[in-house]
Amino acid sequence: MKFFIDTADVEAIAELNDLGMVDGVTTNPSIILKSGKNILDVTREICSIVSGPVSAEVVATTADDMIAEGRKLAQIASNITVKVPLTWDGLKACKVLSSEGKMVNVTLCFSANQALIAAKAGATFISPFVGRLDDINMDGMELIADIRQIYDNYGYDTQILAASVRTVNHVTQCALVGADVITAPPAVIKALASHPLTDKGLEQFMKDWAKTGQNIL
């Protein structure tokens, strides 16, 4: 499963990228706002660090304007993925942009039917929001599983990019049900390395090592 980092924090991206933990990056208007930077400048900087897909989201609401914004964003770098919302206009933009050879990430997906029509419109990635479904007492992982079955049934190439991933358990569950990609904040990725028994075991090892009075260096 691929790891995309859901942030525009360049330092955090670079740190995880150096560890081989970054297969791509996702951004959205809220993330750009938090960065305090110009969307074109920060996206260009991210693309200089990461070789995998970097999602940059359009902010227009009509198909023609989405297409124009998507074309401009795609000029930033060859690994730009144009991110469009799962609306009818977004699907129109997806069809045009994907037909031009551009990668397209269709975002804000909350149903299997939405995922199906996004695939038919040529989406490179579909982004179901598992955390937001959990917020309203629906099962985000059930949606991932349903999309996986539909795509496998009919051989769609669209990759399932599980978004709104908030916990390490979300990551595990996404891997188990067959998501192609998860996108999560840096803190969630780092938390994957943590376990209380690891901490406890290391603490005991250090105590025992101190009793030996030895040094390795």
Establish if 130 belongs to a structural domain.
Answer: yes
What is the chain's length?
A: 217
Residue 122 lies in a domain: yes
Q: Is residue 186 part of a domain?
A: yes
Query: Which of 37, 83, 190, 207 is labelled catalytic?
Result: 83
Domain count, the chain: 1
Report pTM: 0.95
Domain assignment present for residue 93? The answer is yes
In a domain, 11, yes or no: yes
DSSP the chain: -EEEEE---HHHHHHHHHTT--SEEE--HHHHHHHTS-HHHHHHHHHHH--S-EEEE---SSHHHHHHHHHHHHTS-TTEEEEEESSHHHHHHHHHHHHTT-EEEEEEE-SHHHHHHHHHTT-SEEEEBHHHHHHTT--HHHHHHHHHHHHHHHT---EEEEBS--SHHHHHHHHHHT-SEEEE-HHHHHHTT--HHHHHHHHHHHHHHHHHT----
Domain encompassing residue 94: 2-212
Average pLDDT, the chain: 97
Q: What tens digit of pLDDT does each residue of 20-65 get?
A: 999 999 999 999 999 999 999 999 999 999 999 999 999 999 999 9
Model confidence at 175, in pLDDT bands (50, 70, 90)? very high
For this structure, is 83 an active site residue?
yes
In angstroms, the first-to-last Cα distance of the chain is 38
Neighbour count for residue 14 (Cβ, 10 Å):
15
Confidence at residue 22, expressed as pLDDT on a 0 to 100 scale: 98
107 domain residue, yes or no: yes
Q: Please give the pLDDT value at position 6.
A: 98
Within a domain: 217: no
CATH of the domain at 57: 3.20.20.70
pLDDT tens for residues 94-125? Answer: 999 999 999 999 999 999 999 999 999 999 99
Closest by CA position to 118, among listed 88, 138, 79, 81: 88
Query: 149 lies in a domain?
Result: yes
How does pLDDT run across 54-90, given as a tens digit for each residue?
Answer: 999 999 999 999 999 999 999 999 999 999 999 999 9
